[in-house]
Amino acid sequence: MPRTIKRPLLTEKSLQEATQGKYTFIVDLKAGKKAVADAVQQTFKVSVLNVRTRILKGKRIRIRGTRLQKLGSKVKKATVQVAQGQKISEFETG
C-alpha cells in the first residue's frame, strides 16, 4: 500500500488553522478519510476528531515552443482536526 500521508502543507492559511487544532496534509489520491485518520494517529500520536478531504484539479502546463497545453496531476488535501490541547510539532513556527 502506498504512503497515505505524503507531506504536511505549510502555507500561511494552514499555519493559522494549526493554532485552532486543524492541520493540513497532502495525501494519496486513493486514501479515504478513515485511512488518513489512522495514519495521523499512528504517526503523530494524537487523537483525530474530524477529517475533511478535497481533490484539486491539476494546473494547465504549456509545452515549450508550441501552443499545446497538458494537464498537471491531481492533488488530494486533507484537513485533520485533533483533540483540544494536542499539537503536531511539524506545524510549530518557532
Q: Residue 2 — pLDDT band, cuts 50, 70, 90?
A: low
Determine the Cα–Cα distance for residues 92 and 27; give it in Å rounded to an integer.
20
- Percent of the chain with pLDDT strictly greater than 70: 97
Cell numbers given for 6: 505524503
Predicted structure pTM score: 0.87
Q: Where are the domains of the chain?
A: 5-86
Residue 52's Cα: distance from chain center in Å? 10
pLDDT tens per residue, range 8-52: 999 999 999 999 999 999 999 999 999 999 999 999 999 999 999
Residue 1 has pLDDT above 50, yes or no: no
Pick 5-86's CATH classification: 3.40.50.1820, 3.30.70.330, 3.30.572.10, 3.40.190.290.
3.30.70.330
Long-range own/partner contacts, residues 15-20 (CB < 8 A, 24 or more apart): 15/91, 15/93, 17/79, 18/87, 18/88, 18/91
Cell numbers given for 27: 495525501
Residue 75 has pLDDT above 60, yes or no: yes
